[in-house]
């Protein structure tokens, strides 16, 4: 089965080609069947691969397709690497991906026929790129997928390209990703220069040979992390992700919550050897992750756009994953990627269902009381909120608790801050839940009349994701509960090479129980606080003041970036255009043209049309030639 791994990315590519080329000729149902069908087929193949990979003692396999780059001693094959980590990501991407494709078929049904096919073509291309990213057997292959998902993200954020604001959001996402990509690319170049190879095992082996705290490895790890910052929306490159909500909601669920933004986490987890070798860089990862988690969570407290809240929540959860990577808890990070994919896709799709029912309204102040109109959406959304808040028994609890426990073992300060972020998460998620689903309906009568539960094709993915959000955590039960941590055992071959360099932290079981109890109690307290404040929410229409206003305006980071980077850059560009382009280059080029014209005006006087003069000139010329001939 492993040899058929090329089918997994090939099927979405096929879907992309069919939908992209046949967009004029295929009907909407044909497009959605092709688009979702290929992903489902890829999911089936992924499951078969996973069944092979999960056997104990499975060795990572490389499946080469062809030679991609071969220059001198540098060999870069176009090869897929099937191991525990990539097989798990295959399942997440194609599994969540196919649910979202099915959901999209209904959600996007109001699009024109061509727009509908274009949407599915982009979505298939995205899945293809994402699969290349996680399957690549070397950093260059990973980079190909990395750029591909960036492109698809741009295309899908700007899917409604007639809206200038959406286009600007798409450009912002693309440019910010580009900054990160430069870091990634420099990291790859550095790697080629130092190790002469980009293949994972070779690079890790050579890096490990250099020993702990080597400057070269530190530089590579840091540059790769810059790439991860861009793709996974970490400080300082996170501002594109909230704006990326301009895209259709299923896109936000698939690309900007479940899969693409976790590419950075995948990359760091894949390069775990490099990061474990340089603890300082690892601390940088942890601190940036934690700072992002806190900043984004604080912004989410005061946002009023349903998708913006979820977007900041995503940024914050990604910060948690980086915190986990930074404290060396690679399994916990991957675990959280998986559970987060379930519940965040669920929340996004739920918000899509709400937006659909509200006729495009995204402001939660104009919602309220949707509980009775959208029963299925309501309970699935509630499950998502409980899971992300970390209520015991749901998936989010296990992964988040694992991250926090590892953080506690690493550093108490980081733990306290991380717990604070988790509490904010519980608060803003339930603020969102109560304002949206409880209280009285605050929209117009027309909207109220129009309210309806979405069709089965949209609620079915919600129900499946809700079930996954509940049970997804049981593959990684903490040790204290006496059950084996299946995921840790499964992933251990991937993280084994870095194990000798890692510091071992061990928590007492009593400490772990205490941490679990503490976070659970505090989370419930914060949920109750949110309930007291927002369950009977009325839109007072008052302007926020003080800190609330700062939070509502996202700490003014966008304004800061605008003033510090965008405006000066714009001024510099204008200077270059006016002074250098027009004043320098244009004038030089035009000057040459004018000089030639003037010179020929002078020279044409020689051609007077007088035959006598011509002959005279000829004779003079002959004499000159004679003289030259005689002299030489």
606 versus 631: smaller Cβ distance to another protein: 606
Write down the least CB distance from residue 612 to another protein, Å.
6
Cα separation, 466 vs 433, in Å, equals 15
Return the H-helix or E-strand segment holding 75: strand 74-82
209 versus 611: smaller Cβ distance to another protein: 611
Name the site residues for another protein (rule: CB under 8 A).
Answer: 607-612, 615-616, 619
Write down the least CB distance from residue 602 to another protein, Å.
16
Write down the least CB distance from residue 601 to another protein, Å.
14
Cα separation, 100 vs 408, in Å, equals 36
CA dihedral (621, 622, 626, 632) in degrees, to 10, reads 50
525 versus 615: smaller Cβ distance to another protein: 615
541 versus 609: smaller Cβ distance to another protein: 609
Return the H-helix or E-strand segment holding 557: helix 557-561
70 versus 608: smaller Cβ distance to another protein: 608
- Cα separations (Å) of 372 from 144, 354, 362, 377, 453? 47, 12, 19, 10, 10
Write down the least CB distance from residue 621 to another protein, Å.
13
Angle at CA of residue 244, ends 131 and 177, nearest 5°: 60
What token pair was written down for 293?
Answer: 């988690």
SS3 call for 25: coil
φ/ψ of residue 58, rounded to 5: -70, 130
Cα separation, 23 vs 121, in Å, equals 9
Write down the least CB distance from residue 616 to another protein, Å.
5
DSSP label of 607 = -
DSSP label of 453 = P
Write down the least CB distance from residue 631 to another protein, Å.
20
Write down the least CB distance from residue 603 to another protein, Å.
14
In contact, 143 and 133? CB cutoff 8 Å:
no
Closest CA relative to residue 306, chosen from 370, 261, 400, 229:
370
Write down the least CB distance from residue 610 to another protein, Å.
6
In contact, 305 and 363? CB cutoff 8 Å:
yes
65 versus 615: smaller Cβ distance to another protein: 615
Distance of CA 403 to the CA centre of its chain: 21
Write down the least CB distance from residue 597 to another protein, Å.
17
The torsion region of residue 607 among left (phi > 0), alpha (psi -120 to 50) and beta comes to: beta
Cα separation, 227 vs 178, in Å, equals 9
440 versus 605: smaller Cβ distance to another protein: 605
489 versus 622: smaller Cβ distance to another protein: 622
Question: Which ranges in 441-536 belong to alpha helices (H)?
Answer: 445-450, 456-471, 486-495, 509-534
Write down the least CB distance from residue 599 to another protein, Å.
19
59 versus 597: smaller Cβ distance to another protein: 597
In contact, 101 and 16? CB cutoff 8 Å:
no
Cα separation, 468 vs 238, in Å, equals 28
579 versus 615: smaller Cβ distance to another protein: 615
Cα separation, 559 vs 562, in Å, equals 5
Contacting residues for 180 by C-beta, under 8 A, at least 6 apart: 226, 227, 228, 229, 230, 231, 237
609 versus 629: smaller Cβ distance to another protein: 609
Write down the least CB distance from residue 608 to another protein, Å.
7
- Sign of the four-CA dihedral 223, 425, 519, 414: positive
24 versus 604: smaller Cβ distance to another protein: 604
Write down the least CB distance from residue 620 to another protein, Å.
10
> Tokens 């409880």 appear where?
438
φ/ψ of residue 233, rounded to 5: 55, 65
Return the H-helix or E-strand segment holding 76: strand 74-82
What token pair was written down for 599?
Answer: 């010179």
Write down the least CB distance from residue 594 to another protein, Å.
22
21 versus 618: smaller Cβ distance to another protein: 618
Write down the least CB distance from residue 628 to another protein, Å.
19
71 versus 611: smaller Cβ distance to another protein: 611
Closest CA relative to residue 341, chosen from 434, 492, 464, 231:
464
Cα separation, 259 vs 150, in Å, equals 12
555 versus 616: smaller Cβ distance to another protein: 616
Cα separation, 91 vs 105, in Å, equals 21
Write down the least CB distance from residue 617 to another protein, Å.
10
Residue 25: how many other CB atoms lie within 10 Å? 9
């Amino acid at each position: 089965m492993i040899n058929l791994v090329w089918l997994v990315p090939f099927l979405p590519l096929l879907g992309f080609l069919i939908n992209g080329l046949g967009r004029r000729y295929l009907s909407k149902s044909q497009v959605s069947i092709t688009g979702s069908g290929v992903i489902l087929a890829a999911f089936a193949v992924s499951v078969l691969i996973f069944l092979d990979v999960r056997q104990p003692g499975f060795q990572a396999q490389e499946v080469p397709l062809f030679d991609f780059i071969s220059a001198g001693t540098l060999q870069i094959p176009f090869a897929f690497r099937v191991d525990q980590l990539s097989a798990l990501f295959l399942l997440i991407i194609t599994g969540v991906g196919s649910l979202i494709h099915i959901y999209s078929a209904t959600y996007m049904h109001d699009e024109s026929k061509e727009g509908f096919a274009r949407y599915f073509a982009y979505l298939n291309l995205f899945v293809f790129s994402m699969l290349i990213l996680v399957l690549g057997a070397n950093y260059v292959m990973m980079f190909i997928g990395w750029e591909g998902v960036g492109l698809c993200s741009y295309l899908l954020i700007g899917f409604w390209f007639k809206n200038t604001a959406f286009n600007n959001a798409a450009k912002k996402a693309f440019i910010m990703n580009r900054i990160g990509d430069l870091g990634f690319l420099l990291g790859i170049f550095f790697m080629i220069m130092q190790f002469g190879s980009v293949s994972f095992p070779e690079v890790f082996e050579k890096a490990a040979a250099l020993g702990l705290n080597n400057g070269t490895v530190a530089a590579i790890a840091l540059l790769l992390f810059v790439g991860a910052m861009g793709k996974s929306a970490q400080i300082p490159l996170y501002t594109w992700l909230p704006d990326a909500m301009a895209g259709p909601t299923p896109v936000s669920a698939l690309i900007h919550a479940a899969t693409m933004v976790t590419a950075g986490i995948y990359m760091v987890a894949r390069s775990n050897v490099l990061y474990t070798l340089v603890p300082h860089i690892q601390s940088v990862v942890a601190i940036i992750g934690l700072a992002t988690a806190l900043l984004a969570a604080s912004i989410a407290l005061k946002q009023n756009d349903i998708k913006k809240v979820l977007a900041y929540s995503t940024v914050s959860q990604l910060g948690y994953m980086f915190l986990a990577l930074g404290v060396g808890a690679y399994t916990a990070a991957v675990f959280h990627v998986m559970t987060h994919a379930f519940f965040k896709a669920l929340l996004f799709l739920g918000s899509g269902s709400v937006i659909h029912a509200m006729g495009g309204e995204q402001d939660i102040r104009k919602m309220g009381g949707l509980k009775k109109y959208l029963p299925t959406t309501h309970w699935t959304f509630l499950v998502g909120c409980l899971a992300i808040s970390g209520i015991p028994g749901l998936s989010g609890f296990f992964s988040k608790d694992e991250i926090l426990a590892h953080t506690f073992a690493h550093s108490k300060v980081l733990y306290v801050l991380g717990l604070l972020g988790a509490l904010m998460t519980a608060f803003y998620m339930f603020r969102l839940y109560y304002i949206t689903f409880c209280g009285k309906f605050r929209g117009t009568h027309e909207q109220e009349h129009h309210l309806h539960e979405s069709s089965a094709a949209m609620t079915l993915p919600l129900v499946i994701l809700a079930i996954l959000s509940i049970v997804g955590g049981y593959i990684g039960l903490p040790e204290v509960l006496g059950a084996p941590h299946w995921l840790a055992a499964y992933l251990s071959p991937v993280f084994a090479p870095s194990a000798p360099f890692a510091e071992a932290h061990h928590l007492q079981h009593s400490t772990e129980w205490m941490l679990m109890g503490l976070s659970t109690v505090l989370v419930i307290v914060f949920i109750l606080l949110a309930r007291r404040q927002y369950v009977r929410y009325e839109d007072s229409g008052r302007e926020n003041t003080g800190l609330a206003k700062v939070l509502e305006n996202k700490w003014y980071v966008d304004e800061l970036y605008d003033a510090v980077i965008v405006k000066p850059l714009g001024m510099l560009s204008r200077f270059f255009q006016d002074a250098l382009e027009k004043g320098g280059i244009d004038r030089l080029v035009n000057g040459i043209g004018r000089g030639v014209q003037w010179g020929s005006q002078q020279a044409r006087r020689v051609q007077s049309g007088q035959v006598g003069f011509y002959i005279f000139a000829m004779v003079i010329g002959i004499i000159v030639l004679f003289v030259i001939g005689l002299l030489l």
